[in-house]
């Protein structure tokens, strides 16, 4: 499935920038999480999006961010903490093209299982929770969030995965 929502596409673009900024050759799962947590910084006026795409983006982002807020997650603090945890690399590829790592690709494949017609940020985030990343584990631990409970709450809340 390659039908990604506008929010997923923008999060992916942001994650590519974040990986390049850290001089890493691949987009890792934590970069995708960082991309999702950075969607509040997107300036829609500078994007070449239709009005419908803009509405869909804002609705998807706001719904997801509101859900995170119900768990006491401050998006800005969470994003900054994650960025601080990410390691520096030693250079981007010579062709300057940064691809997703194998683990990152598997997260997208896993997320597609939960999506009906369009892969959304909530599907990606759901698939990332509990992924075996030391950065994610440290992040959730620093914010006193039980990753398993968080995943269960997202799945069984009014904010359904589908």
Q: Domain segments of the chain: what residues? A: 6-155
Show the tokens assigned to 125.
Answer: 């985030």
Show the tokens assigned to 144.
Answer: 């006193």
When the pLDDT of each residue in the chain is averaged and rounded to a whole number, the result is 86
pLDDT of residue 23 exceeding 80, the answer is yes
CB 83 within 8 A of CB 15: no
Average pLDDT (153-159) is: 56
pLDDT of residue 158 exceeding 60, the answer is no
**pLDDT, tens digit (0-9, with 9 covering 90-100), for 70-118:** 888 899 999 999 999 988 988 777 777 888 999 999 999 988 888 888 9
> Which residue has 């998006």 as its token pair?
75
**pLDDT at position 128:** 85
**pLDDT at position 1:** 42
The three-state secondary structure class of 125 is: helix
Beta-carbon neighbour count of residue 149 at 10 Å?
Answer: 10
Backbone angles phi, psi at 4, to 5 degrees: -100, 140
pLDDT of residue 161 exceeding 50, the answer is no
**pLDDT at position 61:** 94
Backbone angles phi, psi at 92, to 5 degrees: -90, 160
Distances (CA, A) of 40 to 1, 63, 106, 119: 26, 12, 26, 19
| C-alpha–C-alpha distance, residues 150 and 145, integer Å | 7
**pLDDT at position 35:** 96
Q: Which of 33-37, 41-45, 76-80, 133-137 has the lowest mean pLDDT?
A: 133-137
- CATH fourth-level superfamily of 6-155: Clp, N-terminal domain (1.10.1780.10)
Q: For 26, how many CA atoms within 13 A lie in the half-sphere containing its CB?
A: 9
Say what angle helices 121-128 and 6-21 make with each other, to 10 degrees: 50
Average pLDDT (122-137) is: 79
């Amino acid at each position: 499935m390659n039908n990604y929502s506008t929010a997923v596409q923008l999060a992916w673009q942001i994650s590519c920038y974040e990986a390049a900024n850290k001089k890493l050759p691949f987009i890792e799962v934590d970069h995708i999480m960082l991309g999702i947590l950075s969607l509040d910084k997107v300036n829609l006026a500078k994007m070449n999006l239709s009005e419908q795409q803009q509405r869909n983006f804002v609705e998807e982002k706001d719904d997801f961010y509101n859900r995170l807020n119900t768990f006491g997650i401050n998006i800005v603090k969470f994003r900054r903490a994650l960025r601080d945890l990410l390691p520096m690399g030693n250079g981007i590829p010579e062709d300057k093209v940064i691809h997703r790592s194998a683990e990152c690709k598997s997260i997208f494949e896993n997320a597609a299982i939960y999506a009906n017609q369009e892969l959304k940020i909530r599907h990606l985030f759901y698939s990332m929770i509990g992924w075996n990343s030391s950065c994610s584990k440290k992040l959730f631990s620093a914010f006193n969030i039980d990753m398993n409970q968080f995943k269960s709450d997202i799945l069984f809340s009014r904010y359904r995965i589908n």
